[in-house]
Amino acid sequence: MMDALSVVSQLRDLASEPQNREAIVKDQGCLPGLVLFLDHRDREVLFATLQTLRYLAELSPNISLMKNELGMMVSLENLIEREGLSVDIKALAKEVYDILRAPPQPVHCTPQRKKSQFFINSSNRKAKSVTLHIQGLDSTDQRGLCEEALLKVRGVISFTFQMASKRCTVRIRSDLPTESLASAIAATKVLSAQQVVRNEAGEEVFIPLNSSGLEVQQNAAIPDYLPEDNSPEKESDRAVSRTTAKEDSSGSWLSAAAGFLSKTFYW
């Protein structure tokens, strides 16, 4: 059964895939539904909604449609000014608001990237790779703390570190929320994580992750470290990965989400 958090969380995961962003914004139900979610009382729903909008705004043609969506800018302004919200929510709301308000950038014709450049071992649809920038990852001691935290998370398959850039590339089950990794890392009290993704221009950007209020399922025992045929570290300089969503399932899920939104809210 769908609820607001599950709908917006799955929509956020779809929006994290560059090839899905145009379809989501053009869908008749999804963008209006996201605007309504900006007034939701649940803090997790708010944060996931803002993350989704941040992903969608990475595609330049989406910005004007999002900005002109009824209630979008007003709702973002209200979030920025609302009392009692966390710093993370207000900062992300301000970031999305500023992106939508910015003057349109000139479009440069550049060769289209091959889809495979965004994905590591994308043939495995039961797993995905997530790249994290970890604040505080300055020494082998902090690396050990991070390793212990990740090994406790049920659904983590393997991970590699790039200490010079404070990065960790994590292979996880496709149904494991990325926020679970951030929560586990934040539990060390000395480390914090942001997700690293590439925008439409191929530039790296940091996406904040909600690390509070999320229950992390832990392993009863430390799992075996599973080898990968294609090590994420080999391609870490050019690839930030999430497993690609199937186009047919994306379309059917968007229809289901739009149906949920139309039944839940009254205009």
Which pLDDT tens digit goes with each residue over 81-131?
999 998 889 999 999 999 999 887 655 554 544 433 333 333 445 678 889
Helices 87-101 and 72-81, axial angle in degrees (round to 10)? 140
User: How far is it, in rounded angstroms, from Cα 219 to Cα 237?
Assistant: 31
Residue percentage of the chain with pLDDT more than 70:
70
Between residues 254 and 120, which one has the greater pLDDT?
254
Average pLDDT of every residue of the chain = 76
Residue percentage of the chain with pLDDT more than 90:
30
Contacts of 172 (CB under 8 A, 6+ apart): 127, 128, 129, 130, 153, 155, 156, 157, 178, 181
> pTM for the full model?
0.51
Position 221 pLDDT exceeds 80: no
Position 55 pLDDT exceeds 50: yes
pLDDT of residue 252: 52
Q: Quote the tokens at residue 166.
A: 């404070």
Across 65-72, average pLDDT: 92
Least confident span in 16-30, 74-88, 123-137, 176-190: 123-137
Across 147-167, average pLDDT: 87
Across 232-250, average pLDDT: 41
pLDDT of residue 123: 40
